[in-house]
Amino acid sequence: MAKNQRYTNALHISIPVPDGTVSGQPIKVGLICGVAITSKDATTGEATVRLDGSWNLDVVGAVAAVGAPVYIKADNTLTATSTGNYVFGVSLGTKGAGTGPLEVAPIGYTTQTAASA
Q: Is 59:80 a contact under the CB 8 Å cutoff?
A: yes
* Domain match, 27 and 73 both: no
Query: Residues near 58 by Cβ (< 8 Å), separated by ≥ 6?
Result: 77, 78, 99, 100, 101, 102
| pLDDT tens-digit series, residues 28-54 | 999 999 999 999 999 999 999 999 999
Q: Which residue(s) pair with 70 in the sheet?
A: 89
Longest CA–CA separation in the chain, Å: 53
Total number of domains constituting the chain: 2
* Domain match, 19 and 42 both: yes
User: Residue 2's pLDDT is what?
Assistant: 82
| pLDDT tens-digit series, residues 53-69 | 999 999 999 999 999 99
User: Residue 112's pLDDT is what?
Assistant: 76
* Domain match, 71 and 27 both: no
Pick from 99, 78, 84, 28: nearest CA to 69: 78
* Domain match, 44 and 59 both: no
Tell me which residue range forms the domain holding 19: 12-50
Q: How confident is the model at residue 7 (pLDDT cuts 50, 70, 90)?
A: confident
* Domain match, 20 and 41 both: yes
Q: Is residue 30 part of a domain?
A: yes
Q: How far apart are CA 17 and CA 52, in angstroms?
A: 18
